[in-house]
Amino acid sequence: MTHVLLVDDDDAILEVAKYMLETKYNLIVDVSKSVEDALSRLASYEYDAIVSDYAMPEYTGFDLLRAIRDRGDAIPFILFTIRDREDMVVEALNMGVSFYVHKDSIPGVAFADLAHKITQAVEHSRAEKMLRVQRDLAITCTSAKERDVILSSCIKAGLMITGMKNGAIYLKNTKEGCLSLALYHGFTEQYAKKEIQDNIIDYVSCNIKEQNPFFYDRSTANDTLAPINYSGLQFQAEMFLPIVNHGACIGLVHMATEDKSYQITPDIKYHLESTIVQMGSHIADWQIENALIESERKMSTLLGNLPGMAYSCRQDIKRTMDFVSEGCLALTGYSSDDLIGNNTVAYADLISPKDKGQIHSTISDAIANKSQFKLMYRITTRNGMKHWVHEQGRGVYSPDGSINSVEGFIFDNTKEKLLNDTLKTSENRLKLLFSHMHSGAAIFTVDKVKKDLILIEINNAAEIMEGKKRNELIGSSFFDIFNNPSATELLTAAHQIIENGEPQYLARIPFNHGKKYRWREAYLYSAPSHLGKEIFMLYSDITDRIIFEQQTIASLREKELLLKEVHHRVKNNLQIISGILKLQLYTEGEHDVKEIIQNCRNQVYSMAAIHEKLYNATNIANINIKLYIEDLVDYLNQEYTGITNTITFNVDCDPDINLDIDTCIPCGLILNETITNAVKYAFPPGTEKKEISIQFKKDANSYIMQISDNGIGMEDAASISTKKSLGMELLRRLSRQLRGDASIDGMNGTTITVTFPISHRR
């Protein structure tokens, strides 16, 4: 509704005019009896028009008009007076009076004329205001580059048109298609909270989708949607209008006020809707420009960071460049300024002469067919280096079909070219190796449906072993190729590798070839490929090797039997000698002679026992020293019955020590000599506790053989090297034969220790 301030010093006029204008013409009228009071009201409230008498105490209506215009207010001013001088009318119009209305007319006619003039002046003023708002909005948005400046100008324009105090703009996210608050003015910070924003967006979504504006004030509360829950914020009137550009909704304008007397008139709706059309155009222009700037930035960044050179060139012999990206410097050593327009060098001059002809013909054919071309050629860079480059591009054509330019991309392909060449060389080597290797090689692919292996490649050796050509075998099933009744182990391995992929090694696979058996060994393993899982099988015919092994084993068994027979005969011969010596004992009467003969018998037995062990052993190369010592002790017990009945023998030997015959014989003779001497000389008559201990141990590098007793010992135990007895001489010689050392300790009994290396032979 139009709000008017009526200024007159006549109470009757004020009363009648207020009554008539409000009741009959639906205007809102405030009255003032003086210029001072009118100016005070104008300072605190914004009216749509002023109606003033001319003649008033102290000041005239012209004084009021002058004061209003001096402060820059263009509010419509209507002079309502009884004075009717022509010069005053002219002066009033010159000062900016909108209309001049006579009080002297018939009251009904005068007030009707006044109401008409007020409406006319206000509409004219509002139209001018609209034009100013739209003009200022256009000027600001045209020069502005930042989004918030444009949006702020749009909000201010809406507030000026509606007279409301609060405004906000929402923009639609182009990717997600949902609204979000972009900028607001006048609202408190509470307005921007998430819970309120969720309510607003949920409230307007349906209407915005249909692009329908909707309005709410107290006079239309029952005819519109229910008010939004603002959690304490109270708006008495609101407007929601979609921002549309080219038929698409790009955002939303929200205007609101707390003024309870505010009414949304058709005039306000019309002017705001027309202004929002302008807002949509400005916002869309900014979005397009910003998107273009962002696109150019991305393109510039992309081209600047590509490992190569994007270009646009003419279709001439020099390949004259009209545009090149920054990557040209790294690619060629020349800057874009050097190449564009052939300023320093033409790009065609960088191309190897051997490649120029092929390049020109390929590009010409592609242009003629309007197709893409791909090239690989060599260039010489600014520093003289030779590089391989890959080029890809196509022609750009005018509407009439003629060629405008050639555009494309060039990048350094030197490393890839060298890698490809190396790869091809490696592939050729592998093919030669695969084809000419002596072992059969076959590659299968897994058929998961049939649970089978299908042959996809085979080498020459496999063709020979299978007796078929490659083209006869490719595509065949594994179980068809190797379906040999005697090769069940191979078929089982194939099933296992299909199921779990675990490598399978088969050392011996029998194959029944008619009346003959052939033997193969095979290794199967799986590996992933672009076709799925592949199974590799390497196999060889090992029949000759198996036959040789069988012959070797038979020969070794025959030799072992012969060696055992030799040991048996040696043992028998030594026992015969021992028997002869025993008979000799019965014929001799001299004690010393008998002792010598007995010593000889003992030494013969120590050697015969070794040959007996070898004859009975499964391994004829080694003798277990623990068993040998125990047998030797038993023999001496029997030979010296009566003497040894009171002697305790302690044997402590590592059970896993095995010695060859060349080591065992010297050890046996040393043991025989030292144990015999201990039995005969270590214990004088009357000795109660008699013990002889034999130890045979080993450390990291040596064997340690130790014979000790708890007898009388040796008071003058001297070095073995200085002792002159036969026993000591025998101990010295046998120790040297073992490449070892011997020592004697005569305190607290006698201890003889012989240490010799584990590998004593030289």
pLDDT of residue 335: 93
For the stretch 430-457, pLDDT in tens is 777 777 787 888 888 887 777 778 888 8
pTM assigned to the model: 0.44
Question: Which pLDDT band holds residue 25 (cuts at 50, 70, 90)?
Answer: confident
Per-residue pLDDT at 472 exceeds 50: yes
Q: What is the CATH number of domain 643-659+680-762?
A: 3.30.565.10
What is the reported pLDDT for 762?
Answer: 38
H/E stretch holding 672: helix 661-681
Confidence of residue 578 (pLDDT cuts 50, 70, 90): low
pLDDT at 411 over 80: yes
Nearest to 745 by CA among 697, 706, 692: 706
Instruction: Give the Å distances, CA to CA, from 448 to 235, 453, 499, 703.
Output: 72, 9, 9, 62
Write down the CATH number for the domain with range 3-130. Answer: 3.40.50.2300
Gyration radius of the chain over CA positions:
61
Pick the CATH number of 437-541 from 3.40.50.720, 3.30.450.20, 3.40.1450.10, 3.40.50.10490: 3.30.450.20
Matching CATH number, 144-294, of 3.30.450.40, 3.40.47.10, 3.30.300.30, 3.20.20.70: 3.30.450.40
**Torsion of the alpha carbons at 704, 710, 713 and 718, rounded to the nearest 10:** 10
Helices (H), 467-587: 470-473, 478-481, 488-500, 543-587
Residue 344 clears pLDDT 90, i.e. is over it: yes
- Mean pLDDT over 128-147 rounds to 82
The CATH topology of domain 306-418 is Beta-Lactamase (3.30.450)
The DSSP element (H or E) to which 162 belongs, if any, is: helix 147-162
Q: How far is it, in rounded angstroms, from Cα 683 to Cα 574?
A: 31
Instruction: Work out the pLDDT band at 760, boundaries 50, 70, 90.
Output: very low
Amino acid identity for residue 762 in this structure = R
Predicted pLDDT at 90: 76
**556-to-9, 408, 437, 484 alpha-carbon distances in Å:** 149, 79, 34, 33
Gap between the Cα atoms of 88 and 149, Å rounded: 47
- pLDDT of 222: 45
The answer to whether residue 761 scores a pLDDT higher than 50 is no
Q: Are strands 248-257 and 308-313 parallel, antiparallel or unpaired?
A: unpaired
Domain boundaries, the chain: 3-130, 144-294, 306-418, 437-541, 643-659+680-762
Mean pLDDT (the chain) is 82
Pairing of strands 3-7, 49-52: parallel
Q: Give the pLDDT of residue 379.
A: 94
Share of the chain above pLDDT 70, in %: 84
Q: Tell me, what's the pLDDT at 643?
A: 63
Domains 144-294 and 306-418 share a fold: yes
pLDDT of residue 703 exceeding 90, the answer is yes
- Is the model's pLDDT at 634 over the cut of 90? no
pLDDT for 671 beyond 50: yes
